[in-house]
A and B are shown apart, each in its own frame.
Chain A
Amino acid sequence: MSGASPVGAPDSGVVQFHQTVEPILKANCYDCHGDGAHKAGLAFDELTTKDDLLHNPQLWWKVLRNTRSHIMPPPDGPVPSAAEQLALEQWIKTAAFGMVPNQFDPGRTTVRRLNRTEYRNTIRDLIGVDFDTEHALAADDIGYGFDNIGDVLTLSPMRMEKLIEAAQTVVKKGVPSEPTAPTDQMAFGRQFLTEDGTKNGDPMTFYKDRTVAHTYPIAIAGEYRIVMATSVDGTGNPDPMRCKGTVLCDGKEFYSQEYSWADCMYFQNERVLRLEPGQHKFEFQLEPIDRTLKQPGKMDLKLVWMQVVGPLDPKAWPAAPNYARFFPRDRAPADPAARRKYARELLTKFATKAYRRPVDAATVDRLLKIAEGIYTTPGTTFETGISRAMVAILASPRFIFRFEEAMPAARGQSFVQVDEYSLASRLSYFLWSSMPDDELMRLAGTGRLRKNLAAQVQRMLADSKSAAFVESFTGQWLLSRDILHVAINRRIVLEREGIKPPAPTRRNFGGPPPPPTELTLEQRDALKREAEAYFSHVARDNRDILELIDSNYVFLNQTLVSYYGLPADTATGPEMRQVTLAADDPRGGGVITMGSVLAVTSNPTRTSPVKRGKWVLENILGAPAPPPPPDIPSLEETEKKISDRKPTQREVLAKHREDALCASCHARMDPLGLALENFNALGLYRTQELDQPVDATGSLMTGESFKNVRELKQILASQHRQEIYRTITEKLLIYSLGRGLEYYDVPTVDKIVERLEHGGGRFSELLMGVIESVAFQQRRVASEPAAAPAKPVSVVTSN
């Protein structure tokens, strides 16, 4: 993509470099990167050839990133003026990147396989079935911090097999195989309750009478099959006790059985009953047989489940659930030609939805062949045939992958708009993690989507399906979703602050469980949702995205109020509510001080100012710290040097920074992380650590000093606004495009940042900036040579 000038002509980029850029580098960078010094292997005065200057965009991209995020030059030395920085940036973007101003490169996108979230949502919208992909499909690999990156969404034979199986499962579950079907009601033993509602049918001891009941509604009169599953769960020791189990319907006994000892035995029995429309009470009665026996050990009878299926007469069956969703007529026509026409209609409609673009007649013919192959066989149904073709559609690469098409390209054109169907999919998978709905498809079909882009984005964001965007993007950008699984030991964390939780007591049967050393699932879920609720508010209320960093409000529910130890009336109920903070609240709003973020950037037993500082640098300021060099003294090593007492994290880090090797990076990370020391590894506010008051003061590498985290947030939001805008823009672009960013994306990012600057940082400017960007709207014309298929290279065989 670089715009090299004709061979032999003096290159203006080179000339410009010597005129404008070289003096800036000389004045500000040569101390370490010139005049014989080449720290990190870089000496600017050794970059002499045209290739060095104009054909090494990766190097210059690094220079741009490091100077912009104030990583370079380091403090205590010369710093380029704003005008110099601008000149440097201009030269890098135009000459080093070879990019024409105001021309944007959409970049290289790779076809994206639906990830687990997208697959689940797409199946929900297409079939109306909630398919648990977390369980059924292996986790997707992550690249650039997100799980929707086309390149790393691979497809191994095992995953393919699972996708075929998933297709079979969801079609079987969601698409009826006949126009009518008997009703099928199933209740588990736990849903069968005693009259007072306190006990249930799973389990019941052999030694005590118990009657449990459940009511089934019946709409159509007829014969019904009642299937009962029970099991005996004894211990290894035989027990002489026997009991009788009796099953009654509306007070009338229709089945009974005697049970005796077994280590483990399972029974399934059925009876047919005639039921009239109305509510029917089914009871299970357990009676001990020999009441003189004393209970020597544990022996239980379990009512596992009871199922009521019917009516059994097919003539009385009601329409099958979900039938109209796939089959608009009550029944398929009997006439073969009409039947074929109807099948063709159904399959065209379904394939168009599933492939997210119109389907060609040849494909429909082949689908028809599958369907007819089934439904013309005696003993099968029309619907089963259609279902099988649907399975094929869901296993097709055109469903599993999002293939895109582009508008026709003119000769010599490098970039071209994606067609409107592709745009519809880009939008819907971005904002809904799911397929386009009917309205998007209709607009794309009539070529009116681009014309109505802003209104459609509004509509999509307002739709409840956009919760998927909030959840996926927030959870991965902030790492807040990692709170669901991160290991934290509450007891040890609190002990560091001198708080002793009650000692765990032994668990007694029926007694209260011991106090958990781990967070509960409810707490973890609430902490995850806290971040999402906050982001959702900024997005939907179109707030300045700097409120993600600093604000006077938080989102809480009842669980979080008690978790954070706030007054109980701060927020009640399970829903997240916006709470305005007092002016002197030490925590303040914003993502940095959320429990989830603070906990996932801690170690299981204590805080990690380094991890926290690194997190702020990477995810808020866009200035990732390099990894520690090998063979450096670890923090634990440093900790040992202070032997007279247990040092605080601040003391350890101060000691660590005495080593010049460590200081260069830690001087950037530590102040950010230490400012958060008022929060323990659970994200709870504290004023003491190891009996010493927490000191959260500090100053940034860029000079600003702060007394506490609230001041730090204010400094970030005011003095580092551009970096924050840029970082969030980059994260959102990665997520929306499904690829990592490259040097040629710099102008795209810059344009959106500029838009945010002019638009008061409103979320809509960010979102529309991304959606209207060339990267989102266009693709490269496929002129690049097709990559050779991957061949194993690490093996040499011989015969």
Chain B
Amino acid sequence: MMLSRRRFLRNVGICMALPAMESFWSNRLVGATPAAAMGAGAGERMVATTATGAPLRTAFLYFPNGAIPAAWWPTGADKDFQLNRTLAPLANVKEKIQLVGGLSDLSANSGPDGGGDHARANGTFLTGVRIAKSGGSDYRAGVSADQIMAQQIGLLTPFRSLELSCDSIQNAGTCDTGYSCIYQHNLSWSSPTVPLTPEVDPRLLFERLFGAGPRNERQKNLLIRQQQQRSILDFILEDSRALQAKISGRDRSKLDEYFTSVRDIEVRIAQAEKSRANRPQPEVETPGGIPASTTEYMRLMFDMLHLAFQTDSTRVATFLMGSEGSDRTYPELSIADGHHFLTHHNNRADFVEKVTQIDVWYATQLAYFLEKMEATRDIDGNSLLHNSQIVYGSGNADGNRHTHTNLPVIVAGGGGGTLRAGRYIKYNDEPVTNLYLSMMDRIGGKPVERFGDSTGRLANL
């Protein structure tokens, strides 16, 4: 069990005793669900389920500002490749990842829209469509890949999807030229105009998943909360219907956002009531709020994501490790300059070195997560990592020049045995959306023909 006990304890503020974790294991939810049971009409095919009947999890992890290409790409090819400096921290899970070269996000190119590559890279990475250049009045992106998946399989789990971010602060002065900040702070979009605000606080995320309060009262609290929510749903839906008759235009679409959100809650409560008996409660203390150290913060968020996957609370998640264009400094690396500032290095050696160190740092956090996923047994005896497909990437390739071809992308996990990990594959300039289509195929359900700017599936994944 890899849950960092000391870290949780520190975050609780008061020191408390923790019982053994074993009971966590005796209590696992069986994940196999026939597609027919959810009305997908796909016969006996299982959606988001591996061949052995375990849940298949999908995650998209985004890191900002690209990576120094010379230090990122490995030497060698296919199964015979050597990790370069940036990805050296992944040595322990080398056989569980695929380095995917030659993918591009052309929607992030400037085209007629001029500056704003960071807003575009962030806004297009999972949507694959050009985003409207707007300070706000008519912003528009597209449904993101994770949400296409969530729409198909969201009902299998208590949470349709989870959105995480380690960028908790929105500064008015930090958004990219001519684009609303909405593009840089959201990775997931449930409709072209509804971004899914990510959760930045590990404690709130935990309480949302498992309930608030002391460990032995969480289950009860979660239940009370849901009952109380249900008691007011009828009223607020009726209140919105009364409003609907009076309004038009953009106001109506705002009210639609409200409707959709309330219905989502309704469905979730119904789901929770069905699966209440099986719902596992992790035997861990609720974490504290946002740690001061970025490393601690990111690992704690990864702990939460791991916990969510382990307890089958969701099967789809996105994690914005840093907003594109992030100018975060890294005191833990003794780097006092901002990340974004440094990426415009124009081959100045000391800047390139610092950016590489930051790239290595991000890869180290990824390694922490992947190793933890690998060390956790799933219900079918395989590791959680084996039963996952996890994309780690950035919408910027070379932050110095704002290029969006040959993006740094890793596909981690075995996809439940459908991904041939432990390889370095090079494609000949294919849209990154082709990768998402290939991942959607592995989830099953209704086949998606095209997505964003996709041109097909990735062969040889």
Contacts and interface: CB of A to CB of B under 8 A. Distances in A.
Q: A155, A157, A162, A799 — which one has the most chain B CB atoms within 10 A of its CB?
A: A157
Given A144-B135, A152-B139, A797 B173 contact: no
B193 interface: yes
Contacts of A246: none
A557 B1 CA distance: 53
A264 interface: yes
Interface string B129-158: 100000111110011000010000000000
B256 A476 contact: no
A797 B258 contact: no
B172 interface: yes
B448 to A, nearest CB: 5
A790 B41 CA distance: 26
Given A403-B251, A487-B329, A604-B336, A154 B257 contact: yes
B23 interface: no
A136 interface: yes
Interface stretch (A208-216, A393-401, A420-428): A393-401
A596 to B, nearest CB: 11
Interface string B230-259: 011001101110110011111111111110
Contacts, number: 310
B239 A370 contact: no
B232 A401 contact: no
A637 B347 CA distance: 8
Interface string A132-154: 00011011111111110111101
B180 A143 contact: yes
Given A155-B258, A630-B402, A363 B239 contact: yes
B254 A156 contact: no
A257 B194 CA distance: 57
Nearest to B142: A794
Contact of B170 (A140, A162, A168, A396): A140
A229 B214 CA distance: 14
A629 B247 CA distance: 43
Of the candidates A401, A626, A791, the one having the most CB atoms from chain B within 10 angstroms of its own CB is A401
Contacts of A797: 446-449
A160 interface: yes
Contacts of A143: 135-137, 139, 180-182
Contact of B194 (A156, A363, A603, A786): A156
Contact of B143 (A150, A398, A787, A792): A792
Interface residues of A, number: 106
B344 A636 contact: yes
Contacts of B169: 139, 485
A175 interface: no
Interface in B198-219: 198-201, 204, 208
A111 interface: yes
A782 B247 CA distance: 8
B345 interface: yes
Nearest to B229: A164
A735 B32 CA distance: 52
B254 A794 contact: no
Contact of B346 (A140, A164, A633, A782): A633
Task: Count chain A CB atoms within 10 A of each CB in B246, B257, B337 and give the residue with the most.
Answer: B257
A401 B136 contact: no
A396 B236 contact: yes
Nearest to A400: B258
A391 B344 contact: no
Nearest to A234: B15
B351 interface: yes
Interface stretch (B96-104, B108-116, B305-313, B355-363): B108-116
Interface stretch (B63-71, B184-192, B376-384, B386-394): B184-192
Interface string B22-66: 000000000000000000010000000000000000000000000
A347 to B, nearest CB: 12
A629 B117 CA distance: 11
A796 B232 contact: no
B235 to A, nearest CB: 4
Given A155-B254, A792-B142, A792-B192, A233 B15 contact: yes
B452 interface: yes
B115 to A, nearest CB: 3
A158 B165 CA distance: 13
A631 B253 contact: no
Nearest to A160: B261
A113 interface: yes
A605 B448 contact: no
B337 A605 contact: yes
A691 interface: no
Contact of A156 (B180, B190, B201): B190
B406 interface: no
B192 A793 contact: yes
Contacts of A628: 115
A489 B334 CA distance: 10
B341 interface: yes
Contacts of B129: 793-794
A780 to B, nearest CB: 9
Interface string B338-352: 100100111010010
A155 B190 CA distance: 11
A600 B174 CA distance: 10
A779 B421 CA distance: 59
B262 interface: yes
B114, B191, B261 — most chain A CB neighbours (10 Å): B261
A392 interface: yes
B415 interface: no
Given A401-B258, A603-B338, A633-B346, A264 B9 contact: yes
A39 interface: no
B372 to A, nearest CB: 23
B177 A627 contact: yes
Contacts of A264: 9, 15-18
A537 interface: no
B451 interface: yes
A302 interface: yes
B252 to A, nearest CB: 6
Nearest to B112: A41
A160 B338 contact: no
Contact of B168 (A139, A151, A475, A789): A139
B14 A231 contact: yes
Interface in A745-791: 782, 784-787, 789-791
A600 B262 CA distance: 39
A717 B302 CA distance: 52
A637 B327 CA distance: 20
Contact of A266 (B16, B160, B194, B243): B16
A206 to B, nearest CB: 14
A262 interface: yes
Nearest to A172: B228
Given A144-B136, A154-B195, A388 B232 contact: yes
Contact of B338 (A150, A362, A370, A604): A604
25 contacts: A141-B197, A142-B180, A146-B172, A149-B136, A151-B137, A152-B181, A155-B257, A161-B261, A231-B16, A263-B15, A264-B16, A265-B16, A266-B16, A366-B235, A373-B231, A395-B236, A485-B169, A604-B329, A782-B247, A786-B249, A787-B250, A789-B253, A790-B191, A794-B452, A798-B449
Given A264-B16, A486-B171, 12 more contacts: A141-B182, A141-B197, A363-B242, A388-B228, A397-B255, A604-B329, A604-B336, A604-B337, A628-B115, A789-B253, A792-B143, A799-B41
- Top 6 nearest A-B pairs (CB, nearest first) are A143-B136, A627-B115, A794-B142, A160-B261, A489-B336, A479-B173
Interface of A: 108, 110-111, 113, 135-136, 138-147, 149-152, 154-162, 164-165, 168, 229, 231-233, 262-266, 302, 304, 362-363, 366-367, 370, 373, 388, 391-392, 395-398, 400-401, 403, 405, 475-476, 479, 481-482, 485-487, 489, 492, 517, 600-601, 603-605, 626-631, 633-634, 636-637, 640, 739-740, 742, 782, 784-787, 789-799
